[in-house]
Amino acid sequence: MRIKVQKFGGTSVADLQCMQQVLNKVRAALDDGYKVLVVLSAMAGQTDYLLSLANRWSSTPDPAELDSMVTTGEQVSVALFSMLLQDQGIKARSLLGFQIPMRTDSNFGRARILDIDSPRLQAMLEQYDVLAIAGFQGCDCEDRLTTLGRGGSDTSAVAMAAATNAEVCEIYTDVDGVYTTDPNVCSQARKLDKIAYDEMLEMASMGAKVLQIRSVEFAKKFNVPVHVRSTFTDVPGTLLVQEDNSMESALVSGIAYDKDQALITLANVYDEPGISATIFEPLAIAGVVVDMIVQNPSREGRTDMTFTVPKGDLEQTLQIIDNIKDQIGAKAVFHNPKVSKVSVIGMGMRNHSGIASIAFKALRMENINIMLISTSEIKISCLVDEKYTELTVRTLHEAFGLDQKPQPACEEPGQSQ
């Protein structure tokens, strides 16, 4: 049995007209002799709407109830789409996460997939030509509904492809592939024919929301061929592949941005062993994912500690800090939720110096202030005022000539990152 997974995001199932385009893609796969697992997101805006509803009912919604409610978005999509398929005489039915079942851990709101009943899926594919599967959702070992985090339908799709040994996992969305940066922010962004799993992993983890990071991890681990492409055109998109010699040998391969950042500075904390643990341990226990961390050099036994957290975790973080303020000797706590992180990414950076200085010079030309810098061997991230996000992305994209193929070397010998 030849199996194909096709995943369609929120804008692809936004209304009847869009769903008819989805129908065309599914029909084409059927005509090519595939059985099709169609993984759908909620209709555009629905997940945000449901979350806002919960926040009106409760200031601290129970995460399990939140998941129970928010999974209804995908439930509507798969039921409506199955009706369309059946009206066309196609043998199809909808499947919710718990009906497969797709088991996850009990981390409501950010659950991880543990197991998919693939023999059951295979058996159902004997009976049906298309299974319309609700993305983003699963159930834990106590049969409570769970979700996989925002953008989680991508992960559902890749996991389904791995579980059923599908020939390909097609991720259909509102852009026609993976670009050097968000094409909706930078008109000079260039579509990539192929991208290595590792590079995509880095782009996704730095904020490129075209694929959820977990989906790329899955694809890499199980070697799933993923094809990112547009629901609304027929042009080929971008293939996720293992790194090989035929790929562009770029120093810098892309720019990503993440607006979901809030900055916190703890001023004048004691500079002594154990202070970082006192600050970050309770945050970890509360499930707050701390991103950039910078500690200033010591001045008379005191230092400033600056870090970023997701915007949604800012209030909780400030409460936790308030509880330990005296213990760490903080004289003041500053916060700024209007920041974003822009990252320059490239595997080629590993062996080259001078990339950071090119980025900094370009930002100086535009008078963009950098609030925090963090680097790894394959990325440089700058925290900037949120209102300069798009300008920063475009400036860096141009500075590294990313609109050109192949990219020019950007080396400035003798300078270090």
Which residues line the annotated binding site?
7-10, 47, 74, 173-174, 179, 209-210
9 binds ligand ASP (CB under 6 A): yes
Q: Which residue is nearest to Mg ion (CB)?
A: 151
Q: Which stretch binds Mg ion (CB under 5 A): 1-9, 182-190, 324-332, 398-406?
A: 1-9
Least distance from ligand ASP to the Cβ atom of residue 187, Å: 25
**Runs of H (alpha helix) within 238-287:** 275-285
- What whole-number distance in Å separates Cα of residue 147 and Cα of residue 75? 13
Least distance from ligand ASP to the Cβ atom of residue 333, Å: 31
Least distance from ligand ADP to the Cβ atom of residue 266, Å: 32
Binding site partner of 382, from Mg ion, ligand ADP, ligand ASP, none, Cβ cut-off 5-8 A by kind: none
Chain residues that interact with ligand ADP, rule: CB under 6 A: 9-12, 41, 151, 173-175, 178-179, 181-184, 203, 208-210, 254
109 binds ligand ASP (CB under 6 A): no
User: Contact, 346 vs 254, CB < 8 A?
Assistant: yes
- What whole-number distance in Å separates Cα of residue 171 and Cα of residue 209? 13
Q: Please name the residue that has the structure tokens 């609109």.
A: 403
Q: Which stretch binds Mg ion (CB under 5 A): 144-152, 213-221, 281-289, 394-402?
A: 144-152
Q: Does residue 89 come out as left (phi exceeding 0), alpha (psi in the -120 to 50 range) or beta?
A: left
Of the candidates 159, 29, 12, the residue with the CA atom closest to the CA atom of residue 77: 12
CA 192-197-203 angle, to 5 degrees, is 65
- What whole-number distance in Å separates Cα of residue 147 and Cα of residue 251? 37
Residue number, 10 or 237, with CB nearest to ligand ASP: 10
CA–CA distances in Å: residue 237 to residues 21, 116, 397:
17, 28, 21
Residue number, 12 or 82, with CB nearest to ligand ASP: 12
Of the candidates 399, 408, 407, the residue with the CA atom closest to the CA atom of residue 368: 399
Q: How many residues lie near ligand ASP (CB under 6 A)?
A: 13
Among 97, 138, 151, 348, binds Mg ion (CB under 5 A): 151
Among 6, 12, 41, 253, binds ligand ASP (CB under 6 A): 41
Least distance from ligand ADP to the Cβ atom of residue 381, Å: 15
CB half-sphere exposure, 153, CA atoms < 13 A: 35
Among 5, 19, 25, 73, binds ligand ASP (CB under 6 A): 73
User: Contact, 93 vs 128, CB < 8 A?
Assistant: yes
SS3 label, residue 206: coil
Residue number, 8 or 98, with CB nearest to Mg ion: 8
Residue number, 232 or 360, with CB nearest to ligand ADP: 232
Of the candidates 248, 166, 154, the residue with the CA atom closest to the CA atom of residue 201: 154
352 binds ligand ASP (CB under 6 A): no
Residue ranges at the known binding site for substrate = 47, 74
Among 61, 109, 135, 348, binds ligand ASP (CB under 6 A): 135
Binding site partner of 135, from ligand ADP, Mg ion, ligand ASP, none, Cβ cut-off 5-8 A by kind: ligand ASP
145-147, strands of its sheet edge to edge? 113-116, 102-104, 137-139, 145-147
Least distance from ligand ASP to the Cβ atom of residue 74, Å: 6
Binding site partner of 150, from ligand ADP, Mg ion, ligand ASP, none, Cβ cut-off 5-8 A by kind: ligand ASP
379-385, strands of its sheet edge to edge? 293-295, 302-309, 254-270, 332-345, 379-385, 372-376
| Of residues 165-204, those binding ligand ASP (CB under 6 A) | none
- What whole-number distance in Å separates Cα of residue 213 and Cα of residue 205? 6
Q: Which residues contribute to the site for Mg ion (CB under 5 A)?
A: 9, 151
Q: Which residues contribute to the site for ligand ASP (CB under 6 A)?
A: 9-10, 41-42, 47, 73, 135-136, 150-154
